[in-house]
């Protein structure tokens, strides 16, 4: 007999649709191609790094350099370690072994610097990284493992050395003159992103620019999707604005239905949909880090996160990337040097709604301060089955993959006076996951309200981090809990019959 109640029936098909959408709740692994894996053919590539560029040894660490006035870049922006698309493909066993669903590459288009945020030509792969054929081969290899591939689109600006900009700079009648906002009163003679002269901004409203980037049949966005790419992460999407982003997203979906367009928006996420499919969730990241530092009480953090999800929409948040660090921030191990606080933040990253974004090396506890220290080469000599941080990361990813509610479930705050507590749930009680976190240096005893009508009185709960039964007993929606300092309980109802009996016998 079907025991779905009227509330369950109203949700019929919702969670199945989310599970069928690869973008919802995916685990994203982020890679800087130059720093991820050493090239197998480095000697044959040395000519691609002419002075003042420098090719570093893999064991060397990036350090801040000096500003090169002629090139208008910092010297550390043209230090290279020599990784490429082929070497990235050679390490897909590691990415898949973690349990990742998506490989996200920082920019790979032709550019002068190592980070490639100064595009010379959006249509070409930077020669240090390989060719379009190498990109197609990587896409095929990623897909063969059941994963997806997302590229970084840097369309708000180009590099000063881009032929399109240099031609326009030299000739006011050049066809690309209208692509840029020239003004002799500005440093470098043109509007530049964040006033960095090496990054002249593009007039994205111009019809020819829109045609080239996304609107045309052979545009940058559409061609990459035809080549096997599954989505785009858009750099500084907040600078592009709502309307232009919506046009680009519409073009991507027209080329490949179900593709992903995720925007780097450092502001509150509520109004960025449907201009984007997803955002990089810097708001929840800030809430988590400030909570771990004692700047926001746990219950306030829970209310903040619930508000974000309610106002931005659960569907949008499930697709949005939740990261604790990336190529633009200090590494998590540096931001939260206390291992207990760091691990608590990671549990929350993998249990809150969203697509956890794991920055390469973070699975090893790699440290790194401000740019360029957070962009160190991947320390492959540390990768081993007994590495404690790697084992912990795999445990969290496995936990997420094993529990439907963590991937595609709703969020509901658990009422607590002292804890950061929430519930992930679907239309099935057995999917429910309760998370009760204590972001403080003192143990907490509390009585919390779990507003889930299906969790039965005196029914057993299981601790998902240990796999053991929990001594905590639900009574009329209330739980009495003790959570150690920097500890977290991740609990789920155990609905299995005991000696042939379960109080869940007529509940879906």
For 8-62, the DSSP string reads HHHTTTHHHHHHH-TTTT--EEEE-HHHHS--TTHHHHGGGS-TT-EE--TTPPP
Q: pLDDT exceeding 90 applies to what percent of the chain?
A: 98
CA distance 289 to 481: 24
Instruction: Judge whether 494 counts as a catalytic residue.
Output: no
Residues 193 and 265 in one domain: no
203 contacts 182 by C-beta, under 8 angstroms: no
For residue 126, count CB atoms less than 10 angstroms from its CB and return exposed for 0-12, middle for 13-18, buried for 19 or more: buried
Residues 184 and 313 in one domain: no
The enclosing domain of 234 has a CATH number of 3.20.20.80
Report pLDDT for 130: 98
Number of H helices, E strands in the chain: 19, 22
Domain holding 138, by residue range, is 23-159+199-408
Handedness of CA 508, 411, 335, 325 (dihedral sign): positive
Tokens of 435: 């998370």
Residues 366 and 401 in one domain: yes
The one catalytic residue among 264, 325, 363, 423: 264
In a domain, 490, yes or no: no
Do strands 433-437 and 420-425 pair parallel, antiparallel, or not at all (unpaired)? antiparallel
Tokens 């240099």 correspond to 166
pLDDT category at 491 given cuts 50, 70, 90 is very high
In a domain, 207, yes or no: yes
Instruction: Look at the chain and report how many structural domains it folds into.
Output: 2
Q: Which residues pair with 447 in a beta bridge?
A: 480
Residues 36 and 131 in one domain: yes
* 73: helix, strand or coil: strand
Instruction: Judge whether 423 counts as a catalytic residue.
Output: no
Tokens of 115: 């980070």
User: Which of these three, 198, 222, 247, is where a domain ends?
Assistant: 198
Do strands 109-111 and 119-125 pair parallel, antiparallel, or not at all (unpaired)? antiparallel
Backbone angles phi, psi at 265, to 5 degrees: -120, 120
Is the backbone peptide bond immediately before 466 cis, with ω within 30 degrees of 0? Answer: no
Average pLDDT for the chain: 97
Residues 203 and 298 in one domain: yes
Residues 234 and 372 in one domain: yes
User: Which of these three, 142, 170, 198, is where a domain ends?
Assistant: 198
- Helix or strand holding residue 356 (H, E): strand 355-359
In a domain, 209, yes or no: yes
153 contacts 261 by C-beta, under 8 angstroms: no
35 contacts 345 by C-beta, under 8 angstroms: no
pLDDT category at 1 given cuts 50, 70, 90 is confident
pLDDT tens digits, residue range 5-60? Answer: 999 999 999 999 999 999 999 999 999 999 999 999 899 999 999 999 999 999 99
* 93: helix, strand or coil: helix
- Helix or strand holding residue 310 (H, E): helix 298-312
* 303: helix, strand or coil: helix
DSSP letter, residue 405:
H
In a domain, 394, yes or no: yes
User: Which of these three, 408, 434, 463, is where a domain ends?
Assistant: 408
In Å, how far from its chain's centre is CA 136? 23
Residues 389 and 246 in one domain: yes
In a domain, 364, yes or no: yes
Residues 176 and 289 in one domain: no
Average pLDDT over residues 247-252: 98
In a domain, 461, yes or no: no
pLDDT tens digits, residue range 75-134? Answer: 999 999 999 999 999 999 999 999 999 999 999 999 999 999 999 999 999 999 999 999
For residue 351, count CB atoms less than 10 angstroms from its CB and return exposed for 0-12, middle for 13-18, buried for 19 or more: buried
For residue 471, count CB atoms less than 10 angstroms from its CB and return exposed for 0-12, middle for 13-18, buried for 19 or more: exposed
Q: What share of the chain is helix, strand, coil (3-state, %, to 5)?
A: 35, 20, 45
Residues 124 and 187 in one domain: no
Residues 68 and 115 in one domain: yes
Report pLDDT for 71: 86
Tokens of 150: 């997302």
pLDDT tens digits, residue range 168-186? Answer: 999 999 999 999 999 999 9
* 292: helix, strand or coil: helix
In a domain, 222, yes or no: yes
pLDDT tens digits, residue range 261-306? Answer: 999 999 999 999 999 999 999 999 999 999 999 999 999 999 999 9
pLDDT tens digits, residue range 98-114? Answer: 999 999 999 999 999 99
Q: pLDDT exceeding 70 applies to what percent of the chain?
A: 100
Report pLDDT for 72: 86
Residues 144 and 187 in one domain: no
Closest residue by Cα to residue 293 from 327, 340, 331, 329: 340
Tokens of 333: 């191990």
pLDDT category at 141 given cuts 50, 70, 90 is very high
Tokens of 373: 């220290």
In a domain, 431, yes or no: no
Residues 105 and 58 in one domain: yes
The one catalytic residue among 77, 235, 315, 413: 235
């Amino acid at each position: 007999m079907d025991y779905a109640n009227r509330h369950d029936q109203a949700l019929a098909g919702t969670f199945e649709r989310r599970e069928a959408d690869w973008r919802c709740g995916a685990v994203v692994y982020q890679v800087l191609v130059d720093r991820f894996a050493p090239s197998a053919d480095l000697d044959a590539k040395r000519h691609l790094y002419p002075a003042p560029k420098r090719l570093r040894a893999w064991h060397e660490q990036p350090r801040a350099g000096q500003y090169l006035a002629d090139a208008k870049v910092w010297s550390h922006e043209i230090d290279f370690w020599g990784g490429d698309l082929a070497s990235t493909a050679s390490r897909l066993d590691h990415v898949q072994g973690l349990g990742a669903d998506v490989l996200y590459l920082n920019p790979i288009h032709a550019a002068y610097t190592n980070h490639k945020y100064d595009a010379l030509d959006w249509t070409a792969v930077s020669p240090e990284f390989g060719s379009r054929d190498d990109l197609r081969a990587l896409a095929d290899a990623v897909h063969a493992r059941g994963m997806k591939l997302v590229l970084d689109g840097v369309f708000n600006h180009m590099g000063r050395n881009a032929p399109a900009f240099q031609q326009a700079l030299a000739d006011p009648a050049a066809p690309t003159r209208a692509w840029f906002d020239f003004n002799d009163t500005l440093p470098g003679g043109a509007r530049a992103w964040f006033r960095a002269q090496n990054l002249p901004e593009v007039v994205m409203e111009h019809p020819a620019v829109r045609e080239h980037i996304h609107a045309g049949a052979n545009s940058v966005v559409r061609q990459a999707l035809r080549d096997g790419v599954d989505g785009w992460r858009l750099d500084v999407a907040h600078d592009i604005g709502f309307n232009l982003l919506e046009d680009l997203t519409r073009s991507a979906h027209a080329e490949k239905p179900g593709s992903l367009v995720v925007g780097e928006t450092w502001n509150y996420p509520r109004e960025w949909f449907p201009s984007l499919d997803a955002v990089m969730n810097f708001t929840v990241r800030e809430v988590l880090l400030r909570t771990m530092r004692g700047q926001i009480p746990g219950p306030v953090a829970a209310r903040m996160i619930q508000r974000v999800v309610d106002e931005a929409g659960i569907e949008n948040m499930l697709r949005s990337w939740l990261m604790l660090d990336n190529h633009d921030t200090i590494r998590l191990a540096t931001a939260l040097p206390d291992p207990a606080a760091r691990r608590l933040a990671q549990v929350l990253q993998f249990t809150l709604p969203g697509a956890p974004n794991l920055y390469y090396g973070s699975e090893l506890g790699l440290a790194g301060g401000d740019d360029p220290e957070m962009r160190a080469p991947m320390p492959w000599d540390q990768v081993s089955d007994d590495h404690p941080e790697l084992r912990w990361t795999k445990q969290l990813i496995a936990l997420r993959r094993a529990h439907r509610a963590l991937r595609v479930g709703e969020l509901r705050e658990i009422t607590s006076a002292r804890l950061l507590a929430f519930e992930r749930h679907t239309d099935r009680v057995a999917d429910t996951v309760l998370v009760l976190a204590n972001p403080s240096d003192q143990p907490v005893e509390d009585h919390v309200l779990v507003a889930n009508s299906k969790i039965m009185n005196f029914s057993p709960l299981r601790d998902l981090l240990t796999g053991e039964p929990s001594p905590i007993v639900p009574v009329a929606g209330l739980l009495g809990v003790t959570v150690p300092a920097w500890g977290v309980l991740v609990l789920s109802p155990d609905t299995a019959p005991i000696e042939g009996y379960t109080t869940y016998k007529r509940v879906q």
